[in-house]
Homo-oligomer: A and B are copies of this chain.
């Protein structure tokens, strides 16, 4: 479990993760590693946590010994897989030009849209399921890692946007953490839990666009400067 980064061709020690969240880049893995990890991802989607290492080896045409040399043990493999997947996800950038209310709404909706697409994807659902079940048995740091790349990563990326909006006089709030909770709630609502619990999701493109737009609108009603909500 400790040795899964022994191959480190790049990237720092994993303690960076908790603070920065960008500690593991795509370059941290060789092509061959990526092949194996992608096999693991597909197996996760197919069978959740119930895939065997033998299966991984068979489908990836590698030997168990190699797996253990590279990743230490099963947990190491899972953790590397989560990090590999996380390194592939890209988030929208902050708006470049002037920020008026309309540009802010656009930026918020764009974030929401990208986020909904991610958490509605088969991969994200599989990873979250796995991390959640591991968190229950307390048998690895998987939950912590998914937390770092998931909600925490989102919060880290949104905070500057919120504060920029406040600086421009477009938003009114005290605590950016609190604002994030509300934004999360408006965007994600109960859709993530439902998907995790196995409800057949209908995260199609149009639905996502629509939901994202509504969430951004409602958020502005609550925290927008000239709509006197009970914002605090």
- Given A143-B198, A221-B221, A222-B218, A133–B48 Cβ distance below 8 Å? yes
Is A37 close to B, CB under 8 A? no
Q: Mark A37-55, 1 if CB is under 8 A from B, else 0.
A: 0000000000111100000
Taken together as a complex, chains A and B put the C-alpha atoms of A192 and B187 apart, in Å, by 15
Of the candidates B136, B146, B191, the one whose C-beta lies within 8 Å of that of A126 is: B136
Q: Is the CB of A137 within 8 A of B47?
A: yes
Alpha-carbon distance between A227 and B188 when the two chains are bound, in angstroms: 24
Question: Which of A8-16, A18-26, A68-76, A178-186 lies at the interface?
Answer: A178-186
Question: With contacts A129-B133, A147-B199 known, is A221 near B230, CB below 8 A?
Answer: yes
Partner of A197, one of B49, B143, B221, B230: B143
Q: Kindly list chain B residues whose C-beta atoms are within 8 Å of the C-beta of A77.
A: none
Chain A interfacial residues counted at CB < 8 A? 50
Does residue A208 face the partner (Cβ distance < 8 Å to B)? no
When A132-B197, A181-B189, A190-B151 are in contact, do A137 and B230 touch as well, CB less than 8 Å?
Answer: no
List chain B residues, Cβ under 8 A from A92.
Answer: none
The A contact surface, by secondary structure, is helix
**Is there an interface contact between A182 and B186, defined as CB atoms closer than 8 Å?**
yes
Contact B199 A189 (CB under 8 A): no
Give the residues in chain B near A144, CB-CB below 8 Å. Answer: 197-198
Asked whether A130 is an interface residue with its Cβ less than 8 Å from the other chain, the reply is: yes
A199: nearest chain-B partner, CB-CB: B147
List residues of chain B with CB within 8 A of the CB of A193.
Answer: 128, 150-151, 192-193
29 A-B pairs in the complex with CB atoms less than 8 angstroms apart: A47-B136, A48-B137, A49-B133, A125-B136, A128-B197, A129-B133, A132-B132, A132-B133, A132-B196, A138-B198, A143-B198, A143-B199, A144-B197, A144-B198, A146-B197, A147-B198, A151-B190, A180-B190, A181-B190, A182-B186, A182-B189, A184-B185, A185-B187, A185-B189, A193-B193, A217-B230, A218-B230, A227-B229, A229-B229
